[in-house]
Amino acid sequence: MSITIPLVTTTLSVRPELAPKVIWGLATREYERVGGVIRRVDNKRIVAWLRNVGDRPVTGWPPVTELGSLVQLNAATSLLNLSVTAIGLAMVMRRLDTIETRLNAILEMLQEINRKLDLSFYANFRAALELARSAFAMQDERNRRISATQAINRFLEAEQHYTSLLDMELAAGSLAVSAFLSTLILAYVSVARCYLELGEIRTARRHLEEGSQTLALRVQEFYNSVIGVNPAIYLHPDLAGSVSLERMTRLLRYENPDLTVAAVFEKLRGALWETASQSAASWLGKLPESLWRADVDGERRTGPIKRSRSQEEMFSRLLPRLPEAFAQVEQAIESVGCVDGFQVELDYLTEHGISFDAWRQIELPPFSQDDPIIWVIPRESELLSLG
């Protein structure tokens, strides 16, 4: 007899009560989430695999609703899927299209202040994706490897190129930081995916580790410049509908995983009071160019007369930009977390002698009492039938 259950299944039996156990483990810090992996904090043993359920809210079945905050966070904020098996070259191409559209809009704004942004290298990235896609459609193993190696070399060039661009934009506090960071993440993941298609799991794992180290340094700098200046400003009453205290807590756990909502309030209590009672000038000028630009916002010429903007006007211009800035930092942190989760996933394959092709095709590996206890199925509206 076949039993069909929506979105969530378990390895032990059809037991919905396991989902709240995962939630409880995360809440009590017994478990931790690394991208799409839930594991014990003490011995790093994997207890669950998460999978995307699409971009729409998860509703209905209680365990899915409880897990929804985890999965929806990823769907809303991450550049990547929760599993390395879901990172296909077509997905990378779609993400690249979105990034390039963002950069074209940014380019128009930068041209207004006579600052240039070279986007020509995106054509090379696209060519590498097409080359890789063609390579993995080839039947001849030798031709497949030669073409895949050529694609990998192009992706490696993209890594170097976008690392340099990202460092320059970080130094300038540019509007383009988030887009270049996203592109660099995609470049690292594309290389790893090519290695996986060639059956080189250990090489893919090593490359992701190198990428994670490179990315983490840049994400920390991005976080410091946008959030670290004064986290309290993101809790302004006018932003209550966009940035809640719970959301702020999740972000601040990037630096301190043990933070609770109450601890965050205590941490920010003084800063909230000071931000509300002191002049905005004390922190307006510290924000990066992506939020506050003196050449555009600080002053404007009207004919021969230079008119400085008031603090009130500056604040009214700045406030609507904060939720988007917050979301960009969220995306960067969540995406690098997914890269770390991919490493854990590939470690699991190596330890259990599972090939990437087998893992990708069956999606649910052979289970035992010690294997993961809960899955969230990747494709939207998919149902899983268990015999």
pLDDT per residue, tens digit, the chain (387 aa), is 222 223 333 332 234 556 667 778 877 888 888 888 888 899 898 887 776 654 444 444 444 444 445 544 554 567 888 788 888 888 899 999 989 888 888 877 666 555 677 788 899 999 999 999 999 999 999 999 999 999 999 999 999 999 999 999 898 888 889 999 999 999 999 999 999 999 999 999 999 999 999 999 999 999 998 998 889 889 888 888 889 898 899 889 888 888 889 999 999 998 888 877 877 767 776 677 677 665 556 554 444 444 456 667 777 778 888 899 999 999 999 899 999 999 999 998 898 888 888 888 755 444 444 545 445 433 333 323 222
pTM: 0.82
Q: What residues form DSSP beta bridges with 375?
A: 9, 49
344: in domain: no
The region that residue 54 occupies, defined by phi over 0 for left and psi between -120 and 50 for alpha, beta otherwise, is left
Q: Are residues 190 and 107 in the same domain?
A: yes
Q: Are residues 114 and 204 in the same domain?
A: yes
200: in domain: yes
Domain boundary at 184, 207, 229, which?
A: 229
380: in domain: yes
For residue 305, what pLDDT is reported?
42
For residue 68, what pLDDT is reported?
45
Domain boundary at 184, 203, 229, which?
A: 229
Q: Are residues 211 and 265 in the same domain?
A: no
The number of folded domains in the chain is 3
49: in domain: yes
Q: Are residues 153 and 173 in the same domain?
A: yes
For residue 155, what pLDDT is reported?
96
Element (H, E) at 306: strand 305-308
Q: Are residues 263 and 201 in the same domain?
A: no
Q: Are residues 168 and 256 in the same domain?
A: no
Asked whether the beta carbons of 205 and 350 are under 8 A apart, the reply is: yes
Q: Are residues 15 and 32 in the same domain?
A: yes
What is the span of the domain harbouring residue 375?
3-77+354-386
Asked whether the beta carbons of 369 and 2 are under 8 A apart, the reply is: no
367: in domain: yes
Q: Are residues 305 and 317 in the same domain?
A: yes
Domain boundary at 173, 206, 229, which?
A: 229
Q: What are phi and psi of 327, to 5 degrees?
A: -65, -35
Q: Are residues 225 and 280 in the same domain?
A: no
Q: Are residues 141 and 95 in the same domain?
A: yes
259: in domain: yes
333: in domain: no
Asked whether the beta carbons of 19 and 63 are under 8 A apart, the reply is: yes
**Single-letter code of the amino acid located at 129:** L
Give the largest Cα separation in the chain, rounded. 83
Q: Are residues 257 and 245 in the same domain?
A: yes
16: in domain: yes
Measured distance CA(277)–CA(91) in Å, rounded: 47
Q: Are residues 94 and 56 in the same domain?
A: no
